[in-house]
């Protein structure tokens, strides 16, 4: 089956100038290459995909809608959230307070603590990665704890540094 018989290379170039996004651009470039004599098998290798995918890309252009619409995917909303929008807002307000204020014996929010809070408060189960995502969506970011210097006498610290220099940076027995 010959694809794109009724579409010119110029029309494909015009459509290419009017689309945004990686996928629509990739599909139009494949169509232009196909019109210039590249086989579907070669296109599949170039785009690191299957020949059937290339066939589908070209087949979508055989339509009455504009080329820009034909190469663009419809919006896909994804899975419905486990907590409602109102509950999401309450959760975000909660994690902006300290866990101690909410009743947890912890200095900061962790994904595991969020998981526990969501289960107790909203009776829903979230995975640890999903809890990380919820924290990020709430505007929080992961912070690694910083090590603090051991609380010791300044003179003892200076003695340690001198001994370390003498040893060439290696631990040696005294």
Number of neighbouring beta carbons within 10 Å of residue 115: 19
Per the confidence metrics, is the pTM higher than 0.85?
no
The reply to whether 37 and 64 lie within a common domain is yes
Spatial neighbors of 95 by CB under 8 A, at least 6 apart, are: 109, 114, 135, 138, 140
Residues 64, 25: Cα–Cα separation, whole Å: 19
Tell whether 173 is covered by a domain.
no
Tell whether 169 is covered by a domain.
no
> Could you give the angle at the alpha carbon of 90 between the alpha carbons of 92 and 115, nearest 5°?
65
Tell whether 43 is covered by a domain.
yes
The reply to whether 31 and 62 lie within a common domain is yes
Q: Per residue of the chain (174 residues), give pLDDT as tens.
A: 466 888 888 999 898 898 888 999 999 999 999 999 999 999 999 999 999 999 999 998 888 888 888 888 887 777 888 998 899 999 999 999 989 998 988 888 889 999 999 999 999 999 999 999 999 998 888 777 666 566 667 787 788 777 767 666 555 444
Q: Which domain holds residue 44?
A: 9-71
DSSP classification of residue 147: P
Number of domains in the chain: 2
pLDDT at 6: 85
The reply to whether 67 and 89 lie within a common domain is no
The reply to whether 17 and 65 lie within a common domain is yes
């Amino acid at each position: 089956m010959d694809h794109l018989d009724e579409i010119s290379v110029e029309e494909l170039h015009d459509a290419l100038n009017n689309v945004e996004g990686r996928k629509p651009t990739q599909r139009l470039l494949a169509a232009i290459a196909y019109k210039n004599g590249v086989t579907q098998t070669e296109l599949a290798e170039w785009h690191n995909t299957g020949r059937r995918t290339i066939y589908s890309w070209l087949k979508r252009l055989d339509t009455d809608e504009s080329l820009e619409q034909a190469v663009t995917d419809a919006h896909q909303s994804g899975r419905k959230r486990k907590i409602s929008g109102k509950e999401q807002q309450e959760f975000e307000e909660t994690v902006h307070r300290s866990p101690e204020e909410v009743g947890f014996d912890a200095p900061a929010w962790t994904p595991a603590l969020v998981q526990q809070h969501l289960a107790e408060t909203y009776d829903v189960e979230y995975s640890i990665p999903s809890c990380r995502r919820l924290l990020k969506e709430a505007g929080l970011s992961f912070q690694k704890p910083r090590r603090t210097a051991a609380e010791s006498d300044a003179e003892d610290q200076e003695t340690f540094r001198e001994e370390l220099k003498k040893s060439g940076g290696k631990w040696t027995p005294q």
